[in-house]
Amino acid sequence: MEVNKESLKTRNILLVAGTIGLLFAGIIYAWSILKVPLGTEFGWSNSDLATAYTITISCFCLGCIAGGFLMRGFGPKVPVLAGGILVCLGFFLTSTLDGSNLALLFLYYGVMGGLGIGMAYNTLLAAIGAWFPDKKGFASGVMMMGFGASTLIFGNLAGSLIANASFGWRKVFVLLAVCTGVALIVNGILIRMPGPDAGLPKPPVPAKKADDNEFVAEDMPTGKMITRPSFWMFFVAMMLLGAAGSSLISFAKDFAVSVGVVTAAGLFVGILSVTNGLGRIIAGSLYDKFGRKFIMVYVGVVEIAACVVCMLAAMMSSPVLCLIGFILVGLSYGGNTCAVSVLITAFYGNKYYAQNLSFGLLTLLPSSFLAKLSTTVLNATGGYIVPFALLAVYGVISLVLNIMNKRP
């Protein structure tokens, strides 16, 4: 079938809209900025606010699962529209809190915000990705770059507005409710799946290798997927890489200060955030060009390199090595995020992609607990060398699992 120019135009519009929608939705990861005025005004402890974030991420994962099944039953419009409405209500209701009931914060921001963003996130990745059979990795990387860049762009803007006495945190949450809700609702109106006669470019067909390591993925339903050892090897590998990346990011600023970067520590963290976004596009493009096996090795090698360079920076108190390490950290974490998306397709096909991806994204939950372990090790040892060594071990284990994981 000849490539349809109108379909190419449509998919580019959807990609731009989806990236903008996820750019706003990614504000959920700016909790470290948004929580500050709540703790100050209401006296809620860091533990209380950390619990709110844990609930948010848990509900984000549940929202991804719900979005996948809703998309399967009703198409992509319903979960994206429902997600946009939930986020809008959740953020708006958060602005009305009076501090008398911590459970309301858990409900409004954690449950409603997390569920809504999860539903929209998973559906947009799956539906828009279907328009790019020839560049699925690139399309996923671009949208995930938007999601990851939100904290850098809107998180810092929100922090400035919160600090402005004439604006304050309540108006910030109202503004986030309107902007994020509208961005996702517009996506819900626009989004649709490509028809069988869309005339899209054909996906590249992997050549059959002598060692039989390359294959054309079977469209595998979720119930069958989770019975396969390949899925659990993939799950553990991505869980370890995610834990390593989130751990490194969580103490990035303090680490920069510890090696002598004081006034430029914020700049170093900003560079890490930028490379995190770029890492998603780079990983997606590498997948499109070199395939599944290459990207499975790439994400592990870059993560190990990031840990080793950061460990050397700690030993030598070197700002230069710290900066190189931060660039590698961003590339590894961003690459891993994109790899989760594209490898689900590579192993288990496109037909059940939305549901399968939602289960792949559950790696976020155990990753968060493993990330806390590295922080515990940091507090116990009083230095960064042992935590970086532990995170490098995570990378080595994940690399071995990915190399061994050849077929679904």
Give the pLDDT mean for 183-204: 88
Give the pLDDT mean for 179-196: 93
Distances (CA, A) of 351 to 34, 127, 134, 139, 287: 38, 11, 16, 18, 20
List Cβ neighbours of 376 (8 Å cut-off, separation of 6 or more). Answer: none
Give the pLDDT of residue 408. 67
Give the pLDDT mean for 371-392: 85
Nearest to 112 by CA among 134, 97, 132, 93: 93
State the residue for tokens 């560049």. Answer: 135
Give the pLDDT of residue 110. 93
pLDDT, tens only, 328-351? 988 888 888 888 888 888 888 878
Contact 243, 408 (CB under 8 A): no
Are the folds of 5-190 and 222-404 the same? yes
Residue 208 has pLDDT above 50, yes or no: no
Give the pLDDT of residue 310. 92
pLDDT, tens only, 92-145? 999 999 989 999 999 999 999 999 999 999 999 989 988 998 888 889 889 988
Give the pLDDT of residue 209. 45
Residue 88 has pLDDT above 90, yes or no: yes
CB atoms inside a 10 Å sphere around CB 186: 16
Give the pLDDT mean for 10-35: 90
Give the pLDDT of residue 2. 73
User: ∠ CA 231-233-239 to the nearest 5 degrees?
Assistant: 95
Question: What b/e string do you get for 302-333 counting C-beta neighbours within 10 Å, with b at 16 or more?
Answer: bbbbbbbbbbbbbeeebbebbbbbbbbbbbbb
Question: How confident is the prediction for the chain on average, in pLDDT?
Answer: 87
CATH architecture for segment(s) 5-190: Up-down Bundle (1.20)
Give the pLDDT mean for 4-11: 88
CA-CA-CA-CA torsion for 40, 46, 52, 55, nearest 10 degrees? 170
Give the pLDDT of residue 195. 85
**Domain boundaries, given as residue ranges, for the chain:** 5-190, 222-404
pLDDT band at residue 11, thresholds of 50, 70 and 90?
Answer: very high
pLDDT band at residue 205, thresholds of 50, 70 and 90?
Answer: low
Q: What is the C-alpha separation between 207 and 215, in angstroms, rounded?
A: 8
Write a three-state SS string for the chain. Answer: CCCCHHHHHHHHHHHHHHHHHHHHHHHHHHHHHHCHHHHHHHCCCHHHHHHHHHHHHHHHHHHHHHHHHHHHHHCCHHHHHHHHHHHHHHHHHHCCCCCCCHHHHHHHHHHHHHHHHHHHHHHHHHHHHCCCCCCHHHHHHHHHHHHHHHHHHHHHHHHHHHHCCCCHHHHHHHHHHHHHHHHHHHHHHHCCCCCCCCCCCCCCCCCCCCCCCCCCCCCCCHHHHCCCHHHHHHHHHHHHHHHHHHHHHHCHHHHHHHCCCCCCHHHHHHHHHHHHHHHHHHHHHHHHHHCHHHHHHHHHHHHHHHHHHHHHHHHHCCHHHHHHHHHHHHHHHHHHHHHHHHHHHHHHCCCCHHHHHHHHHHHHHHHHHHHHHHHHHHHHHCCCHHHHHHHHHHHHHHHHHHHHCCCC
Residue 273 has pLDDT above 80, yes or no: no
This prediction has a pTM of 0.81
pLDDT, tens only, 347-361? 888 788 888 888 888
pLDDT band at residue 1, thresholds of 50, 70 and 90?
Answer: low
Residue 207 has pLDDT above 50, yes or no: no
Write a three-state SS string for 282-348. Answer: HHHHHHHHHCHHHHHHHHHHHHHHHHHHHHHHHHHCCHHHHHHHHHHHHHHHHHHHHHHHHHHHHHH
Q: What is the C-alpha separation between 399 and 379, in angstroms, rounded?
A: 27
pLDDT, tens only, 279-298? 888 988 888 888 888 888 99
State the residue for tokens 């799946």. Answer: 193
**CATH class in words for 222-404:** mainly alpha
List Cβ neighbours of 50 (8 Å cut-off, separation of 6 or more). Answer: none
Least confident among 18-32, 172-186, 294-308, 360-374: 360-374
User: ∠ CA 379-398-145 to the nearest 5 degrees?
Assistant: 85
Residue 400 has pLDDT above 90, yes or no: yes
Using a pLDDT cut of 90, give the percent of the chain over it. Answer: 38
Give the pLDDT of residue 214. 55
Residue 262 has pLDDT above 60, yes or no: yes
Give the pLDDT of residue 124. 94
Q: What is the C-alpha separation between 312 and 331, in angstroms, rounded?
A: 18
Contact 245, 333 (CB under 8 A): yes
Give the pLDDT of residue 302. 93
* 147: phi then psi, degrees, rounded to nearest 5: -60, -45
Residue 213 has pLDDT above 60, yes or no: no
Contact 65, 96 (CB under 8 A): no
